[in-house]
């Protein structure tokens, strides 16, 4: 079908549904248009931004008739800030849309006619749920300000007065650092000109321990008085650890080596009754409340009796593996990040867990050596990045022939393609998929999946 629109056109559209990623889906005489900032049921005036062979993209500029499930967003920065794009969508409908996206991915990409989908698990808290936030500095008339990127604009930072996803203490830390930066007359880094000094602020909070870690990221050079920054932050009793990192590259990254300016080098978090040490660059699920739910579901899916050898792949700081250890014979974790592995080893010692071991390595390269060392696994737990399992990692994991795989996924599309390959090439069947809403008001959804391997004779049939 020839495109009936051109970039720049303004058109009236009625939105029928949500696409994966959160854009509204509308049709103009049968031609599909994906509409940013539009919700199902809305009638909008939208400006076309891109035209492709089979579809167009547009941005809603005015809601002419709001859908029945549109609500008032509580955040003063909503619509301009790049986060929390579904605050104006009734939470019950958010859950339905996310579950539908998982089902659609498993059906369309995974080739499963009737996916074994469990009811979606809603978030315990719709706001104030994040234990980690990364802010960017920007220069304003008042001096350096902290905020987030504007919606759809990676070259512009929106200063914020409050964030509803963190706690009051988290907001207080941001405000304290911003006031310090202005008092010290420091300048925010400009990404376009690559000039200036202050780049990012990372705040991590142990939600069940009340401990906070603060990391300042700057351009190269020691242009501030470290002791005064520490003094400012120590006025907030929850702050236990202050780090400084230098980013001398154009890339906007915070995962950098740090210098400890004051306090402990790590804070602690508590999940499912276990204590976990968290350093600046160690991975931890950013929603502590729902991490407990996620790991509990993984533990249920593993069906451990105390006699099993468990592989925990992409193990991070060991959270899932250690949550399983009490019910397993042994747990063996593999993770490419050496810092995360160091935390995992510490976490095992911290909790007195002697039947878990963790190693730094590339999952796709480490499995053969791990099998030679530990014996074949009875259960494999895998929690890969958004890109899913790389081809070699998937094949080598499947060739372990573990009776059960517990696959924790943060991306339904890559999950679906991996599940399809595991079924068609290696005889694994998806037994159940449980969506878990870790991130309310965003398009993101986690799932916990149980796959079981059919006996060889059954595969032959």
- Quick one: tokens of 104? 């659609």
Cα–Cα distance between 88 and 364 in angstroms, integer? 42
- No. of helices (H) and no. of strands (E), the chain: 10, 21
- Phi, psi of 300, deg, nearest 5: -65, -40
Select from 315, 355, 360 the least CA-distant residue to 333.
315
Tell me the chain's radius of gyration from C-alpha atoms. 24
Q: Is 410 in the active site?
A: yes
Q: Which two tokens stand for residue 234?
A: 């120590």
How far, in Å, CA of 252 to CA of 459, rounded?
Answer: 48
Q: What is the DSSP letter of 169?
A: H
CA distance 162 to 304: 44
Residues forming a β-bridge with 55: 32
Closest CA to 124 of 205, 206, 207, 68: 207
Beta carbons within 8 Å of 251's beta carbon, 6+ residues apart: none
**Assigned token pair, 286:** 């950013």
Using the structure block, give the residue that is written with the tokens 């592995």.
341
| Secondary structure class of 400 (helix, strand, coil) | coil
Helix (H) or strand (E) holding 316: none
Instruction: Point out the catalytic residue in the list 84, 315, 410, 433.
Output: 410
Which residues are annotated as catalytic?
410
């Amino acid at each position: 079908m020839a495109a009936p629109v051109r970039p720049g056109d303004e058109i009236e559209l009625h939105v029928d549904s949500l696409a994966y990623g959160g854009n509204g889906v509308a049709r103009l005489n049968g031609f599909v248009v994906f509409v940013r900032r539009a919700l199902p049921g809305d009638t909008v005036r939208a400006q076309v931004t891109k035209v492709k062979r089979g579809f167009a993209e547009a941005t809603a500029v005015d809601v002419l008739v709001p859908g029945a499930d549109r609500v008032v967003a509580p955040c003063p920065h909503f619509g301009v800030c790049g986060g929390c794009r579904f605050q104006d969508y009734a939470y019950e409908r958010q859950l339905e849309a996310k579950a539908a996206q998982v089902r659609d991915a498993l059906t369309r990409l995974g080739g499963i006619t009737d996916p074994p989908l469990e009811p979606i698990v809603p978030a315990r808290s719709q706001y104030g749920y994040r234990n980690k936030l990364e802010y960017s500095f920007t220069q304003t008339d008042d001096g350096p300000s902290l905020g987030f990127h504007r919606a759809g604009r990676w070259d512009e930072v929106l200063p914020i007065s409050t964030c509803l996803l963190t706690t009051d203490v988290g907001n207080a830390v941001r405000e304290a650092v911003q006031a310090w930066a202005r008092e010290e007359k420091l300048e925010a880094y400009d990404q376009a000109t690559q000039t200036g000094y202050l780049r990012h602020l990372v705040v991590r909070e142990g939600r069940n321990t009340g401990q906070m870690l603060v990391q300042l990221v700057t351009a190269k050079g020691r242009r501030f008085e470290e002791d005064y920054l520490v003094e400012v932050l120590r006025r907030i009793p929850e702050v236990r650890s202050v780090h400084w990192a230098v980013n001398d590259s154009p890339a906007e990254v915070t995962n950098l080596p740090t210098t400890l300016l004051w306090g402990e080098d790590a804070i602690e978090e508590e999940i499912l009754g276990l204590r976990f040490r968290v350093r600046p660059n160690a991975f931890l699920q950013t929603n502590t409340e729902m991490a407990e739910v996620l790991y509990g579901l993984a533990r249920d899916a593993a069906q451990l009796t105390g006699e099993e050898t468990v592989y925990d792949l992409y193990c991070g700081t060991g959270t899932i593996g250690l949550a399983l250890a009490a019910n397993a014979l042994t747990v063996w974790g593999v993770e490419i990040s050496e810092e995360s592995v160091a935390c995992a080893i510490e976490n095992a010692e911290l909790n007195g867990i002697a039947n878990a071991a963790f190693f730094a390595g590339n999952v796709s390269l480490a499995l053969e050596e791990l099998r030679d060392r530990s014996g074949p696994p009875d259960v494999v737990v895998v929690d890969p990045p958004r890109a899913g399992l790389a081809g070699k990692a998937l094949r080598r994991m499947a060739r372990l022939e573990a009776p059960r795989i517990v696959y924790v996924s943060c991306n339904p599309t890559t999950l679906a393609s991996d599940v399809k390959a595991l079924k068609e090439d290696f005889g694994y069947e998806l037994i159940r998929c449980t969506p878990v809403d870790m991130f309310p008001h965003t398009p993101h959804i986690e799932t916990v999946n149980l796959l079981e391997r059919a006996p060889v004779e059954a595969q032959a049939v």
